[in-house]
Amino acid sequence: MTYCQIKTVGVSKEMMRTKLERLSMLTSEFLEKSFAYDSLVGDRTEMERIKDILQVNLWKGEPDDPNSRPDTNEEFATMILHFHRLLTEGFWNNFKEELRFRKAMKGPVEIPPEYEGVEVDSPDMMDAFIRIEIPERYMTVRFVRNSDSVHFFRGSVDAIPALLDLLQGLPLDNLRFCGNTKCGKLIVKTSQRDLKFCSGKCQSVQYQREFREKSPEEHKKYHRDYHHDQKERKARKLRKIT
């Protein structure tokens, strides 16, 4: 059995920052979002925006295939959903599972007495092999005939390698999961700010959850007072109107 080992390439600080910014945009605006055909097909402007996000952040702003912006909205929506499914179901979701496992491995690993001395590597030091899933049975690339060199227009065949290239060499600490335990979205830290949540809503939800678990009675009182204040405000508004 043979395998291909990816060679680690040195990445400068400037290149690292650029890669993190690209991945952050690609993650928040595409990989960690869901899209519906009916919503996309009726909004050409939104589809153009998504296409530009992919063009700049996945394809590094290289000249794109002129045929990659289909004439009809139906074809455009189908293309976007195809790339979303290819990247998320084909690689991203499996990558997140392995990343979550890696981040959960903290502290020494206890080995059963009967296996002491025979272990080679602890589980947190073992490589993970991520299976790449291609949703379609076939893929098509366009070969340029009127050229002096071999040239293919990119498509499904290299979308996942482009994402792998974007992830290559990035620090694990910059790839984090939202602090809201019910969310599960991956977020990318691009600056010195200690990013912990994917949104203000998730931050509020998690803080309320922790508050409720640690101080249930105080939490109930807080919400009773809050709803009482809301009723008082509505009552004052009604009195002013009348």
- Burial of 114-148, coded b for 16+ CB within 10 Å and e otherwise, reads eeeeeeeeeeeeeeeeeeeeeeeeeeeeeeeeeee
By CB neighbour count within 10 A (0-12 exposed, 13-18 middle, 19+ buried), where does 172 fall?
exposed
Place of tokens 């009195």: 239
Give, to the nearest 10 degrees, the angle between helix 156-167 and helix 73-87: 50
Given a contact cutoff of 8 angstroms between Cβ atoms, the answer to whether 207 and 38 are in contact is no
What is the rounded CA–CA span in Å between residue 197 and residue 185?
9
Q: Where are the domains of the chain?
A: 13-107+115-173, 205-241
What is the rounded CA–CA span in Å between residue 159 and residue 31?
13
- Find, among 156, 171, 160, 155, the residue nearest to 19 by Cα: 171
- The dihedral region occupied by 117, where left means phi > 0, alpha psi between -120 and 50, and beta the remainder, is left
How far is the CA of 98 from the CAs of 23, 53, 88, 93, 226, in angstroms?
A: 18, 26, 14, 9, 42
Taking only the tens place, the pLDDT of each residue in 48-65 is: 999 999 999 998 876 566
pLDDT tens over the chain, length 242 residues: 233 333 444 568 899 999 999 999 999 999 999 999 999 999 999 999 999 999 999 988 765 665 566 889 999 999 999 999 999 998 999 999 888 888 777 655 555 565 555 555 555 566 778 888 776 655 566 676 666 766 666 666 688 889 999 999 999 899 999 999 889 899 999 988 888 999 999 998 888 888 777 777 775 666 666 676 777 777 777 777 76
Taking only the tens place, the pLDDT of each residue in 173-214 is: 999 999 998 898 999 999 888 889 999 999 988 888 887 777
- Find, among 176, 187, 191, the residue nearest to 99 by Cα: 176
C-beta atoms surrounding 37 within 10 Å: 12
Given a contact cutoff of 8 angstroms between Cβ atoms, the answer to whether 162 and 59 are in contact is yes
Query: Model pTM greater than 0.85?
Result: no
DSSP designation for 67 = G
How far is the CA of 138 from the CAs of 134, 135, 156, 202, in angstroms?
A: 9, 9, 10, 39
